[in-house]
C-alpha cells in the first residue's frame, strides 16, 4: 500500500511539472499577447494605459494623501515623502458599513468616504485644516494660497474601471459584494470630489490608482540605489502587474491628456487573463474542474493557476483525487503517530471535501516543513482540515502535491515577469545595472522560496539566462495603496 501511495503521488506531481521548455513557450506567447494588447482593445492581456508617465527615484518630497477603497475597509492616510527614499505615514482604517455597499445612490457611499477624510484631517492635520477653512472664509486670502494648501490625493479604487485620464475613470462593474447600480458608468473620482467639496475640505482627487501601479511607484521610490523599478506585481488573492512601457510601443489610441515628454507610460497589464484561450498554459484535470466550477469559467485563466485564491483549491482537488483512488490508502486506516498507533480519520465538515475549503496558506506550511516527521504539517492538517492522526506517509503525499503546485505557480509567475523584462530590453541596454521588480501579496511574501523558484525559471529563459537572472532583483513593496498612491498624486500634480 505505502509503495503505491508514493507512486500514485508521483504520478500526480508529474502532472504539475512545468519544464524549462514550457517556460520558454510561455514567455514567447506572453510576449505575443502583450504586444497584441498594446495594439488593439479586446485582447487577452488588456494592457491598459494608466496615464502615469514616470516612476519616482526616491528624491521626491512633500505631503500627500491617499485613500484606498478595496473591499471590506476604507483606508485614509497622509504620507510625508522625505526625499531620501524614506517616508512617514499616518494612517486610519474604517470598516465600510454593509448597507452602504448596496446603497441606493452613489452619494451615500461617497458621502461616507468624504466624511472619513474630514475626520482624518481634523484628527491628524488640524493646523492644515484650520488654516484652509480660515483662508476660505477670509476675503484676503493671498493669491495662490488655496492651491498650495490643497492636499493632492491618490485614490486607490480596486474595482474594474475604464480610465480616461490620470484622475478620471468610470466604473465598469462592482465586485466583492458591492452593488450600487447608480455608480455604473460614472466617474468615481468626480463622485468623491463632489462630496469632498460639499464638506469644503482642502483636498483634490489628483489620481485614480490601480494597486499594481501603486506597488510599482512605492518600490521605485524606496528601492535601494539609483535604479528605478520596471515592474509592480501582485501575488495575493489575485495576480496582476504593471510596468513601464515605451510610448512608441503603445500603438492603440489613448484618449485624454498625458505628458508625452518622458516617452514612457506605465501600463496595467491585467495579466490574470493571459492565455484565456489556453494556447500554452498547462491544463490538468484539476485546473479544468476548478475553472468549470468557478463563477467565471474561461476567464482569468492565468490567475487561476497562480494566485492565492485558487492554489489551495487546486491542491484540494488533487488530494481528493488521491483520496478517492481505491488503489491507495490516504488518510485512512492505522498510522504510527507520536502517541503510538492511531487510526487516521477525517472529521465531519472537513474543508477537504468543500469547494474553497483549503486555504493556500496551508501550502506555505507544507513547503516550510522539511523535517522527517513532518510534525508541523500534520498538526496543521489536523487543525485546518480536521485530518486526525495523519501518518508521515500521508503528510508526505500532501506535501509533494502542494509543493508541485506552488512550484508551478512560481514558474508561471516567471513567465509573466520574464516576458516583461525581455520586452523592456533593459538587460541589453545596460551591462551591469539591476532590473528591479516590486512585488506585493501574501504568496510572494510568505510562500517559502517563491522568489528563488522564479529566479530558477529566469535562468532557463532564452533572452535572460543565468547572467540575466542574477541581475533581476525582486523586492517586496508592501505599501502601494499608501505611499504608492501618494506618489501618483505627486506625478499628477507635476503634469498640470
Ligand atoms: P490581498 O491580495 O487580498 O490584498 P493578500 O496579499 O494577503 O491579500 O492575499 C491573500 C491571499 O493569499 C489569500 O488567497 C490567502 O489564501 C493567500 N495566503 C495568505 N497567506 C498565505 C501564505 N502564507 N502562503 C500562501 N498563500 C497565502
Strands (E), 47-95: 48-49, 61-69, 73-82, 87-95
Reply yes or no on whether the pLDDT at 365 is more than 90: yes
Range scoring the smallest mean pLDDT among 175-179, 280-284, 433-437: 175-179
Reply yes or no on whether the pLDDT at 273 is more than 50: yes
> What mean pLDDT do residues 255-284 have?
94
Reply yes or no on whether the pLDDT at 46 is more than 50: yes
- The answer to whether 95 and 72 are in contact (CB under 8 A) is yes
Q: Tens of pLDDT along 438-478?
A: 999 999 999 999 999 999 999 999 999 999 999 999 999 97
CATH number belonging to domain 61-209: 3.30.420.40
Reply yes or no on whether the pLDDT at 15 is more than 50: yes
Q: What is the DSSP string of 382-418?
A: HHHH-EET--HHHHHHHHHHHHHHHHHHHHHHHHHHH
Is 177 exposed, middle or buried (CB count within 10 Å of its CB: 0-12, 13-18, 19+)? exposed
Q: What is the DSSP string of 158-201?
A: -S-EEEEETTEEEE----TT---GGGTTSBHHHHHHHHHHHTT-
> For ligand 1, what atom is nearest to the CA of residue 309?
14
Range scoring the smallest mean pLDDT among 40-44, 100-104, 222-226, 244-248: 222-226
Instruction: Place 137 in a pLDDT band, splitting at 50, 70 and 90.
Output: low
| Size (the chain), residues | 496
Collect all residues with Cβ–Cβ distance below 8 Å to 462 and sequence separation of at least 6: 24, 27
pLDDT at 144: 43
> What mean pLDDT do residues 396-424 have?
98
Q: Is 68 a catalytic residue?
A: no
Q: ipTM > 0.85?
A: yes
Percentage of the residues of the chain whose pLDDT score is greater than 90? 80
> What mean pLDDT do residues 90-106 have?
95
Residues with CB under 6 A from ligand 1: 236-237, 308-309, 359-361, 363-364, 441-443, 446-447
**Distance in angstroms (rounded) separating the CA atoms of residues 29 and 467:** 23
C-alpha cell at 466: 543565468
Reply yes or no on whether the pLDDT at 8 is more than 60: yes
pLDDT at 335: 65
What residue ranges do the domains of the chain occupy?
Answer: 1-50+223-479, 61-209
Reply yes or no on whether the pLDDT at 139 is more than 90: no
Provide the 8-state DSSP code for 482: I
Reply yes or no on whether the pLDDT at 340 is more than 70: no
> What mean pLDDT do residues 478-490 have?
92
pLDDT at 337: 58
Residue of minimum CA distance from atom 22 in ligand 1: 361
Q: Is 138 a catalytic residue?
A: no
**Distance in angstroms (rounded) separating the CA atoms of residues 308 and 211:** 16
Cell 506625478: give the residue. 491
Q: Tens of pLDDT along 283-303?
A: 999 999 999 999 889 999 999
Q: For residue 443, report the distance from its CA to the centre of ligand 1, in Å.
A: 6
Exposure string for 435-455, b = 16+ CB within 10 A, e = fewer: bbbbbbbebbeebbebbebbb
> For ligand 1, what atom is nearest to the CA of residue 71?
3
Q: pTM here?
A: 0.92
- The answer to whether 73 and 95 are in contact (CB under 8 A) is yes
Name the residue of 303, 308, 351, 358 whose CB sits within 8 Å of the most ligand 1 atoms, as the mutation to test its pocket.
308
Q: Which of 11, 41, 138, 173 is catalytic?
A: 173
Beta bridge partners of 167: none
Stretch (H or E) spanning 11: helix 2-15
Reply yes or no on whether the pLDDT at 142 is more than 60: no
Q: For residue 238, report the distance from its CA to the centre of ligand 1, in Å.
A: 9
Domain 1-50+223-479 top-level CATH class: alpha beta
Residue of minimum CA distance from atom 24 in ligand 1: 361
Q: What angle do CA 7, 12, 16 make, to 5 degrees?
A: 135
Collect all residues with Cβ–Cβ distance below 8 Å to 485 and sequence separation of at least 6: 66, 67, 68, 154, 155, 156, 207, 209, 214, 217
Q: What angle do CA 27, 32, 33 make, to 5 degrees?
A: 100
Q: For residue 460, report the distance from its CA to the centre of ligand 1, in Å.
A: 28
Reply yes or no on whether the pLDDT at 210 is more than 80: yes
Collect all residues with Cβ–Cβ distance below 8 Å to 155 and sequence separation of at least 6: 66, 67, 69, 167, 188, 189, 192, 205, 207, 208, 209, 485
**Of 8, 11, 9, 27, nearest to 19 (Cα)?**
27
**Distance in angstroms (rounded) separating the CA atoms of residues 124 and 146:** 19
Q: For residue 440, report the distance from its CA to the centre of ligand 1, in Å.
A: 10
Reply yes or no on whether the pLDDT at 310 is more than 70: yes
Q: Which residue has the higher pLDDT, 256 or 24?
A: 24
Beta bridge partners of 151: 203
pLDDT at 145: 43
Residue of minimum CA distance from atom 27 in ligand 1: 361
Beta bridge partners of 203: 151
pLDDT at 339: 59
Q: Is 149 a catalytic residue?
A: no
C-alpha cell at 101: 455597499
pLDDT at 470: 97
Amino acid at each position: 500500500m505505502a509503495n503505491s501511495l508514493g507512486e500514485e503521488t508521483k504520478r500526480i506531481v508529474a502532472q504539475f511539472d512545468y519544464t524549462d521548455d514550457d517556460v520558454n513557450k510561455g514567455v514567447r506567447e506572453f510576449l505575443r499577447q502583450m504586444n497584441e494588447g498594446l495594439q488593439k482593445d479586446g485582447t487577452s492581456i488588456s494592457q491598459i494605459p494608466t496615464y502615469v508617465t514616470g516612476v519616482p527615484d526616491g528624491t521626491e518630497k512633500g505631503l500627500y494623501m491617499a485613500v484606498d477603497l478595496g473591499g471590506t475597509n476604507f483606508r485614509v492616510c497622509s504620507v510625508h515623502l522625505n526625499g531620501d527614499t524614506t517616508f512617514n505615514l499616518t494612517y486610519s482604517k474604517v470598516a465600510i458599513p454593509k448597507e452602504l455597499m448596496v446603497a441606493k445612490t452613489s452619494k451615500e457611499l461617497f458621502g461616507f468616504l468624504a466624511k472619513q477624510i474630514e475626520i482624518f484631517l481634523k484628527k491628524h492635520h488640524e493646523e492644515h485644516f484650520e488654516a484652509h477653512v480660515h483662508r476660505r472664509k477670509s476675503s484676503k486670502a493671498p493669491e495662490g494660497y488655496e492651491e498650495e494648501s490643497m492636499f493632492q490625493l491618490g485614490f486607490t479604487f480596486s474595482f474594474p474601471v475604464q480610465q480616461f485620464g490620470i484622475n478620471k475613470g468610470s466604473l465598469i462593474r462592482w465586485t466583492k459584494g458591492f452593488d450600487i447600480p447608480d455608480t455604473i458608468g460614472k466617474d468615481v473620482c468626480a463622485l468623491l470630489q463632489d462630496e469632498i467639496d460639499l464638506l469644503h475640505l482642502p483636498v483634490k482627487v489628483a489620481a485614480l490608482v490601480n494597486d499594481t501601479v501603486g506597488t510599482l511607484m512605492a518600490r521605485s521610490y524606496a528601492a535601494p540605489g539609483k535604479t528605478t523599478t520596471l515592474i509592480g506585481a501582485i501575488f495575493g488573492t489575485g495576480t496582476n502587474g504593471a510596468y513601464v512601457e515605451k510610448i512608441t510601443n503603445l500603438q492603440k489610441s489613448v484618449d485624454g491628456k498625458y505628458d508625452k515628454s518622458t516617452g514612457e507610460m506605465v501600463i496595467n497589464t491585467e495579466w490574470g487573463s493571459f492565455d484565456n484561450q489556453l494556447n500554452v498554459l498547462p491544463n490538468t484535470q484539476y485546473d479544468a474542474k476548478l475553472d468549470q466550477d468557478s463563477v467565471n469559467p474561461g476567464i482569468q485563466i492565468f490567475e487561476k493557476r497562480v494566485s492565492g485564491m485558487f492554489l489551495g483549491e487546486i491542491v484540494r482537488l488533487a488530494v481528493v483525487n488521491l483520496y478517492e483512488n481505491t488503489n491507495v490508502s490516504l488518510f485512512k486506516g492505522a498510522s504510527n503517530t507520536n502517541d503510538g498507533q492511531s487510526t487516521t480519520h477525517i472529521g465531519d465538515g472537513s474543508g477537504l471535501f468543500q469547494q474553497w475549503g483549503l486555504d493556500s496558506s496551508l501550502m506555505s506550511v507544507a513547503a516550510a516543513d522539511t523535517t522527517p516527521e513532518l510534525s508541523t504539517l500534520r498538526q496543521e492538517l489536523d487543525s485546518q482540515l480536521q485530518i486526525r492522526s495523519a501518518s508521515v506517509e500521508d503528510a508526505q503525499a500532501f506535501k509533494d502535491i502542494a509543493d508541485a503546485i506552488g512550484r508551478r505557480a512560481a514558474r508561471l509567475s516567471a513567465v509573466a515577469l520574464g516576458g516583461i523584462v525581455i520586452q523592456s530590453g533593459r538587460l541589453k541596454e545596460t551591462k551591469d545595472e539591476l532590473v528591479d521588480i516590486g512585488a506585493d501579496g501574501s504568496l510572494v511574501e510568505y510562500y517559502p522560496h517563491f522568489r528563488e523558484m522564479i529566479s530558477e525559471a529566469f535562468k532557463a529563459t532564452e533572452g535572460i539566462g543565468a547572467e540575466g537572472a542574477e541581475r533581476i532583483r525582486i523586492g517586496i513593496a508592501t505599501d502601494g495603496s499608501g505611499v504608492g498612491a501618494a506618489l501618483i498624486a505627486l506625478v499628477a500634480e507635476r503634469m498640470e
